[in-house]
Structure formats: structure tokens, C-alpha cells
Structure 1
Amino acid sequence: MPDNRKYAIYSRKSKFTGKGESIENQIEICRRALKSKYDVVDEDIVEFEDEGFSGGNTKRPKFQEMMERCRNGEFQLVICYRLDRISRNTSDFVNTYEELKEHSVCFRSVSDNIDDTSPMGRAMMMISSVFAQLERDIIAERITDNMHELAKSGRWLGGNPPTGYRSAETVGSMTVDGKIHKARMLEKNPEEAELVRLVFTKFVELRSITKVETYLLNNDFKSKKGNTLSRFAIKTILKNPVYAIADEDTWVYLNEKDMQLYGSHDDFDGIHGIMAYNKTIQKKGRSMKQKAPSEWIVAVGKHEGIIEGKRWVEVQHLLEKNRDKAYRKPKSNTALLSGLLFCACCGSFMRPKLSSRVNKQGEKVYDYLCELKERSHGLKCDNKRINGNELDRQICDEIKHLGEDDSELMKLLRNSQKSLNETFADSQAEIDRLTEKKKQYEAERTNLVKALTLAGDTMASEDIISQINDLHTKTSELERQISEHRRLMENSDITDEQYQSLADMLSSFAKTIDTLDVMKKRDVIRCFVRRVEWDGENIHLYLMGAESGGTDVLHSEPECECSK
């Protein structure tokens, strides 16, 4: 069966120039290479150009568009002038190539004579993969060596200091050429250190991170950035060895956990705190993950500890014991408004809370509950719950009404069409005025050029040249304004056909929403709804593109309020 997919040419240049390997030259070379080997015509070729973008990473608009279209099965081959047009980073290139292979897309580089449809080309790709892996291994080894060197100094690496400390600059060693190495160390912040002690004390007393969170919230304790301390923030404080005083209890615990401990028993002086390196795995575009404690590199730091070793170790044991009972966010597989529904009283998210009850339709009953109310046990917010099953149904009904002529969204579309068409007309009138002005300037300039010829080499010629230059500047400014208005016209012209297409799409959603699964229903709702608020009496619905004010489209009924 013939492969009817198209061919993609990718070109990149870091600077806007017309010399050397310009975008045009790269594309022309790739076109000739394609036509010499494959039976292709111009219609089979799609060009992607990134000019003014570095090859240091793959965050380039046209490159990303090309890869997305490869994932969608549009291309059978990607060709470029040279490998470094794809990326100067070997591992980035290998990752790109692996993704192309995954979607059955071939690759060719003209200048490097690499074509993975041939055995030699595939061998070159394998060699590139080996070097990429070697590069990653060398980098990982360097990082580990650096961590060991840092452990010798016990210094702070910089960045945001943990709660309880501030970052202070210290003078380090002097190099042979007289330069002074500066380092950073943690310096205790007395007020924040008291908060850290309170967190540890309350956790030992209450045996629950959730209860500690409620206590801190209701007593108005805040983080160094002025935020309430979440469960995650509290757990981070409790687990961080930076607070532990380096004493006998800490020494025994760290050795029991088989951590890579740098330093001797004598370094644990009962004063300084612990510094742990190599704790996390950090990758671009991914959330940070903590490594196993056996991979940590631990040393006694230069800073003062806050929590005595015995108390810190006790807390670590309690955390391990509570791991199986750790807090999990309440979830509902059927709730549609998670992330869209807010409490109008305090501004917090309202989360679905599943119950064991079943309604008449055989659905499990869930309510939406204010997150702040739940965390503070009602002390900071007392907004009522709302029945989630009924609210979701009413929101879906509103989506169905959006395609009707008298709906808020259709009114918004009509107003937008009117506004855009007015903008189009205004821009056209301004272009006509500017064009007429430009003609006047050009006529004046023509007359001045004639006058300059007659003036010859006289003193008047300098004044004429100055006037010509001034008119040239004014003409250039008019051309810029005309170009800007044309751009506005291109973006503001909405035809009756486009308007009708939008209206038809709304009508289609209204007819099909009841047949969609939960995930698709959520997607549909997010197409039209920006935000939903519950104030205890009414639901305020904010549509996409609407002004900041909401519309009271729904009102609570007695059956919408859940039983307590």
C-alpha cells in the first residue's frame, strides 16, 4: 500500500541574515535532495522555518508544530540540511529521532549524508545514540563528584532558603590569581525558627499532619511568603534534615538509613545542623522527585541546627508509621467542575467529596465542599456544601442552552462580530486616509527632487535635501501605520459563514453533551465556562470571553443543599 504522507523540510538559523546557510539556501538544498531520490512534487512538501532561534534546545515554534504533525501521522520523512539544524544537543537530537521512529517517520540529513532508510544511515544513528548516552553518564558522574566536594564544605548552594533560615554571603578562599571565592551559608531567622519548633512540637503532640495544618491555619500562622502552610509544606519541614542538630541521635539514625555520610563522628558537635545533597531528581518539564535516602550525600553544615536530634528522629519514625494513613485528596470519578468551582465567600476551590449514599438515578452522591472550610473545620469559612450531582446536571443544561439565539454566549458572539466588523471598517477608513497622505508626501518629495536639480551646488540645496529626508521619514512612518492597520483588519474580519459555523458548533455540543463520557463532558464545559462560584444561595456562571462580572444563571433549590 503506497505511503501518501507528505515530506517535511526543517530549517533553522540563529540570526536573521541572508548569508551562508540562510533559511532559503537550506530549503532549496533539501528540495533538490528530495526530488533527486523520491518521486515528489511541490505539493507533497511542507516547509518549517525557525529563523532567529538557537539550537541549544527544541523550544522553537515551527519545530514543535512539525513534531506535533508527525505525531498526527502527516509525514513519512523529515529532512534537514545538517544535523545541528535539529539540535546542537546530542541527547535532544536522539530523543527527537526516537520519537520520529515511534511514529514511523524517516529522517535524513543532507550535508551529513545521513539517511536512516539505508543500513549506513541507521548505523550512524546508533553511533549518535551511544555518544548521547556517554554524554549523559559523564554529566551524571561530574554531578556526583561535585556533590562530594560540596559535602566537604557543608555549604548552602543558594536558592530559596528553608523556613527558619536566611541565606548569607561569606568570604571563602583566595585563588592563585588573587580572586576571592564567595560562598553562601544559612543563617538562623529567630522568628521563623520558632515556627519550625512549633510545627515539630505540634506534630509530636497531635500525631497528624492534617491536624497540624488545621491548628496553624486557625491560629493564623503563615509561611515566609505570607501563605497558609499546606500539608505538603508542613511535611517538607518535618522531613528536612537541615533542621536536625548534629548530635549522637542524628549520627545513629543517619547511619541506620545507610546514607552516604561525609565526615567523622567527631563532627557531630551538638550545635550545627545537617546538610543533605543529591536529594532530588530534577528534569525539565517534570515534577521534582525525591531520591531514596541511601543516595543522599549528607554532611554537617556550617549553620546552627534548630531541632534536637532525638526530637527530629522521633518525628521521622512517626512519619514512617503514618505513611499508610497519608492524606489523599477526595476524588470523584464523575464530578465535572473540579478546578472550575470556587467558594464565593473566601475564594478557595470547592472540591468534590464522595459519600456512600446513592440517589434515585443510581449515582453515588457527592457534594462540593469549600477547601478552606474543610481545612479549618469551619472556623475560617462556613459556606454551605452544594449537591454535586444536581449542580453538574444544571451546568450541562446551561451548556445545552448556549446554542439558542437568546443565550448569553450567542449574544456575546453577535456583539463580538459587530465590534470586529466596526474595527474592520474603521481600519479601512484610516488606511484610505493614510494612503492619501502618503501620496501627498510623495508628490512633495518629487517636486523637491526637481528643485534640487535646478538649485545645483548652492546653499539652498542643503535645505532641500533636509526637507526630502524629513518627507522620507514621514512616509516610512505612514507605511508602518498602514501595515499595522492591515494586520488589525486581518485579525478582525469575521464573515457571516464563520459566525454561522460557531453557532452550529454550539448547537452540536448542545445535542451531544448527554452522550459524552465524563472526560469529554469536562472538556466541553471548559470550552465555554471560565469559572463557577457558589455563594451559599446562588451559582454565578462566568463564560469564556465574557466581562469580569458573572451571570446568576442558577439558583439553589432545597434539594440542592446536601444533608449535613
Structure 2
Amino acid sequence: MRIAVYVRKSKWTGRGESIENQIFLCREYIEKYIENSREAQILVYRDEGFSGKDTNRPQFQKMLADMKLRPFQYLVCYRLDRLGRNLADLALLIEKLNREHTEFVSIRERFDTSTPMGKAMVYFSGVLAQMEREQIGERVRDNMYLLAKSGRWLGGNTPLGFQVREKLYGEGKLKKAFYLEVKEKEAEIPRLIFREFLDSHSLTKTAELLVERQIFTRRDRIYTPEAIGEILENPVYCQSGEKAYEYFASLGCQMGFSREEIREEKGLISYGRTVSSRYRGQEASPQEWIIAQGEHEGMISQEDFLRVQKLLKRHRLGKPGEGRVQNEACLLSGFLFCSCGCRMRPKYYRREQITTEGQRKFSYRCPCRDKTRGRDCQEIPLLGNLGDCLVWKFLMKKTGEEFSLEEIFLEIRRRTEKEKSREGEWEKIRKEAQGLEREARRLTQRLAETEDGDLAEFLKKEIQSRLAQREYLREKANGEKNSFNKKERENIARRYSDPKFLSSCLSVPNKRAYLGLWAEKLIWEGGVLKLYLFVSPELP
């Protein structure tokens, strides 16, 4: 007998429902209530520091993979929301357990999914868990909005040119609040960056100017174009004003002050720009941002700040993963980083230097090492042809273990084909489908709450109607986007069922698109190439 125990906690606290407590209680339950459990093989899967909003958790994915290879007889968890707080994910998991004849046990709720009532209770609890997660998000955002109206600094890396000032307030027991204020000596650097970029229209030239003037970061490293781009995009440097207000409102940002409250001598401050602390470097969409007036002075006039944003939009270098990779021959372009943090760039050798396959030799080099002549980085270059070859071979081997090549080809094609026409119509269809999905979710919540049989039947029909409309819109959009019919796709997929043929026919941009499904980034450190994979590639 095989019994799986799954435990999860969003963050470590060492008390209450800790990982160790959950494991102890699950084992205790197994010994008391599951027959023949003394001889059973108990496998514990633990995810600590991962939210239950989705299933992108390492140990959870490993548990599913193990269950697929050899099913469990029982899956035991401390509480249902440890598995997840998303109703759709829970429903899919229960269906998988039923197909594998695996009984699910939640020791707090005492669910038994082998009965219809047990399944219904699981789904109902899933609705409550999802509602709780959404309410938590709403409360956090409401609190952030209230803090934003006061212009406080909520923590994190202090922006360049600023320092944090502490302020006490309240009666009796005093409380602390923190605000930004300009640090004049350091503030000259961001002012110089904005001036130079407005003159040169180039992030690279701006970075080169800082190197020439021996201006380095707080950690005594060179400013990369990416770092300069982040500074130029940060609203904290922009002076408040009518034009700035209109700009951020047009992006869909939630404004933490009204037009009547505008004080042009003050600077702006943004909240909620990053997705979460675990996904550094990944920004939320502007619709998730809150823009408020801070207590600090704005360094850059709103006119200059808006001019910079237009220039960045026109030819953005962007953050890792956002920039347009123009190279048509180097697979790892855009993914490969030096151990010092700089994105490595390919550099070709002389034309007469070619490989045995007839390819021109090149290497990936660290721009920090080249610009400072080894002062700030001593990492040796990576042989480009060899690195590309080894990474692609690894991906092909990994692929064969988890997916059919038909899936791979269709996904590569979907990711790389250029669809320039009718984008506005597709976006409209997508938003319409999302609206129908939201309506279906709301109706599902009402269905879970009602005890009226007639109302329940009506809600079920409405939910089915919304979902049917959503599927119709999705099929319509997919049908218009896809220029191949089903028979042609099947024929092409059969042609590409041979890995060698697939590898030889795919262009480097195609291969790079596939690499993006698997790898978050690669780091070259001390002569070792480290490949950071996602938990699971995003194949449909």
C-alpha cells in the first residue's frame, strides 16, 4: 500500500499549523483510521513558502508525477486548503484521484470522496477556500490603498537618490511611519541618467557615460542598460502634476489622490508594481498599480518624465525576458546571465574561424567584464557553439521523458508564428471571454450558497450558458488565429516526429521559443553552466 501525505504552508512561522505539525497529525490519523497502514509506504510531499493560489509548487507537481507512474491508495492532508485555494484546481485533482481510485482524506474536514456527498462537500469547501483567498487579496489591496493616500514608504530597496526618514505619530503609544526624502549628493546620479538618456536616446550610451565618469552602483558595480531602464521607469522620480496624473490614469492605474489634491512640488510613489516577493523582476500590469503622492520632492519634471517613457516605449531594452532578442544564430541570447548579474552577449570570432559543422565560432561574454577590463567581473567567456549544443541536447532528452513531440511542435509553432492582423478584434474577444468566465464564477458562488432547489437549477443553466458562450468565443479566436487546418497540422506533426529532423529544421528563434517554455534563465558561474528550469513547462 502506498499513502501520500501532502503538507503546505505559505510562509514559515514555526508555530500553529507548521509543516512538522501537519505531518505529525497526518501520520497519527493514518495509524488510527487506515487499515494495514503499519506496512504501508508513506511518502511525504512538503511545500513551504508556496501559496495555494495555483498548482505551480515543486513538491505538489512531483506528487502528481509519482501518482501518474504508480497510483497511491490514499492521499492524506491536514486540511483541504493545503492542497489549494482554487476551485478549478481542486476539482481537477479530485477527478484525477477518482480515475486512479485513490481515496482522498482531509483530517480536519473528514471528507470521503468515494461518496457523492463527500465530493459535493469538497467542491463546496473549495468555493469557500477560493473566496477566502480573493477576500484576503482585497483586504491587502484596500490596506495598501489607505497607506498610499498617506504617501508612506512601505519598505524594500530604497530608490537611488533617496533615503528613508522615520516619523512618529499617534497619542499615548507612539507609532512609526516611514517616508522618502531626497539624498542630495546621490540624487545627482538619477538626474544625470535622465539628462543623458534624453540627449542620446540610448540606454547603452547612458551606461557607457557612467562608466567613463567612474560612477558605480551602491554595490560598486557598473550600471547596466537594464538597471538604467528600471530607474527611468520608476514613478518615484516624477514630479506630481496634471500631465503625470493623466498619464498614469490612462495606463489604468488606481490613483491614490484626486486632481484637486495635486501638489506639483511633491514626487509620486507607486505601490503593487511587483507580482510578489518570490517573483523579483516580474512586474504586475499597470492596472494593478496604485500611484500616490509621496512626501518627497520630485526630481524630474513631469514633461521630461513623460518624454522618457515615450522613448522607452519606442525602443525598449527592458528587463530580463522583456527585451526583443534580435540575434538569429545564438540560442542562449536573452536567457544567459553572468554570475555578476549582467546578461551575457554573443560575440563572433573572425570569419575564417568555423566549427566542423560549418558554423561561425562565437562566445558569450560578460559586458561588465569587457567594460571594466576585469575589474568588477573575472568570469571567462562561454564557448557559444558548445553551450548552445549542450543545452539543446539536454532539452531534447528532457522532452522525450515528459511530452510527445507532436505537442512540442504545435506549441513551438503557436509561440513563434507572427499574428499581426486583427489583434484588436482578438483582444476584444479575449476580454469578452474573460467577462463571461467571471460571471460564471460569481454564479457558481451563488449556487454554493443557495438552498432553494429551483434557484439552484436556474443558476446551473446560467452557468452552463456562460461557459458555452466563453468556449464559443475561444474557438472563434483560435480558429481565426490558426492558418493551418487540422489535417495539415497532423501531417506536419508527423513529419516532425523524428527528433533529429525536428532539430535540423527548426530555426534558432524557434528553438529559443521552446527554450523559453522550459527555462527561466541560465547562469554561467565559475566555468559551470547552470540551467534554472520552471516547475513544469507551459504546454497546453
Cα gap change, 1:100/1:366 in structure 2, threshold over 3 Å: closer, same or farther?
Answer: farther
Corresponding residue number in structure 2 for 1:297? 290
1:411-438 Cα offsets, whole Å, 9 max, x none, are: xxxxxxxxxxxxxxxxxxxxxxxxxxxx
Q: CA shift at 1:252, angstroms? A: 4.3
Corresponding residue number in structure 2 for 1:184? 178
Counterpart contact for 1:97–1:107, Cα < 8 Å: no
1:311 correspondence with 2:307: no
Q: CA shift at 1:93, angstroms? A: 10
Corresponding residue number in structure 1 for 2:424? none
Corresponding residue number in structure 1 for 2:206? 212
1:133 correspondence with 2:135: no
Q: In the TM superposition, what are the counterparts of 1:2-401 in structure 2 within 5 Å?
A: 7-10=2-5, 25-32=28-35, 45-48=40-43, 68-72=62-66, 73-77=68-72, 79=74, 83-84=78-79, 91=85, 98-99=92-93, 101=95, 105=100, 106-109=102-105, 111=107, 112-174=109-171, 178-282=172-276, 284=278, 286-323=279-316, 326=323, 328=325, 332=329, 351-353=345-347, 359=354, 361=356, 363-372=358-367, 376=371, 388-389=384-385
Counterpart residue identity of residue 313, structure 1: L
| Equivalent-residue separation in structure 2 for 1:14 and 1:257 (angstroms) | 41
| Equivalent-residue separation in structure 1 for 2:529 and 2:249 (angstroms) | 58
Cα gap change, 1:155/1:277 in structure 2, threshold over 3 Å: closer, same or farther?
Answer: same
Cα gap change, 1:89/1:162 in structure 2, threshold over 3 Å: closer, same or farther?
Answer: farther
SS in 1 for 2:62: helix
Counterpart residue identity of residue 188, structure 2: E
Q: CA shift at 1:390, angstroms? A: 7.4
Counterpart contact for 1:154–1:299, Cα < 8 Å: yes
Identify unmatched segments of 5+ residues in structure 1: 1-5, 36-40, 396-513, 523-529, 534-540, 545-564
| Equivalent-residue separation in structure 1 for 2:243 and 2:77 (angstroms) | 60
| Equivalent-residue separation in structure 2 for 1:365 and 1:313 (angstroms) | 43
Identical-pair percentage: 26
| Equivalent-residue separation in structure 2 for 1:154 and 1:202 (angstroms) | 29
Cα gap change, 1:288/1:135 in structure 2, threshold over 3 Å: closer, same or farther?
Answer: farther
Cα gap change, 1:370/1:200 in structure 2, threshold over 3 Å: closer, same or farther?
Answer: same
Counterpart residue identity of residue 46, structure 1: Q
Counterpart residue identity of residue 26, structure 1: Y
Counterpart contact for 2:211–2:222, Cα < 8 Å: yes
| Equivalent-residue separation in structure 2 for 1:289 and 1:123 (angstroms) | 38
Q: CA shift at 1:356, angstroms? A: 12
1:426-460 Cα offsets, whole Å, 9 max, x none, are: xxxxxxxxxxxxxxxxxxxxxxxxxxxxxxxxxxx
Cα gap change, 1:69/1:281 in structure 2, threshold over 3 Å: closer, same or farther?
Answer: closer
Q: In the TM superposition, what are the counterparts of 1:506-521 in structure 2 within 5 Å?
A: none
Q: CA shift at 1:204, angstroms? A: 0.6
Q: In the TM superposition, what are the counterparts of 1:546-557 in structure 2 within 5 Å?
A: none
Counterpart contact for 1:168–1:187, Cα < 8 Å: yes
SS in 1 for 2:114: coil
Corresponding residue number in structure 2 for 1:420? none
Counterpart contact for 1:55–1:87, Cα < 8 Å: no
Q: CA shift at 1:222, angstroms? A: 1.4
| Equivalent-residue separation in structure 2 for 1:118 and 1:125 (angstroms) | 11
| Equivalent-residue separation in structure 1 for 2:106 and 2:145 (angstroms) | 45
- Normalization by structure 2: what TM-score? 0.57
SS in 1 for 2:169: strand
Counterpart contact for 2:217–2:223, Cα < 8 Å: yes
Find the structure with the greater CA-based Rg. Answer: 1
Q: CA shift at 1:96, angstroms? A: 7.0
Counterpart contact for 1:9–1:27, Cα < 8 Å: no
1:276-311 Cα offsets, whole Å, 9 max, x none, are: 223232274x45532333443222111111111221
Counterpart residue identity of residue 320, structure 1: K
Counterpart residue identity of residue 285, structure 2: A
| Equivalent-residue separation in structure 2 for 1:7 and 1:125 (angstroms) | 22
SS in 2 for 1:314: helix
Counterpart residue identity of residue 275, structure 1: I
Q: In the TM superposition, what are the counterparts of 1:413-424 in structure 2 within 5 Å?
A: none
Counterpart contact for 1:373–1:383, Cα < 8 Å: no
Counterpart contact for 2:45–2:63, Cα < 8 Å: no
Counterpart contact for 2:222–2:368, Cα < 8 Å: no
Identify unmatched segments of 5+ residues in structure 2: 8-16, 392-499, 505-510, 516-522, 531-540
CA RMSD in angstroms, aligned pairs only: 5.1
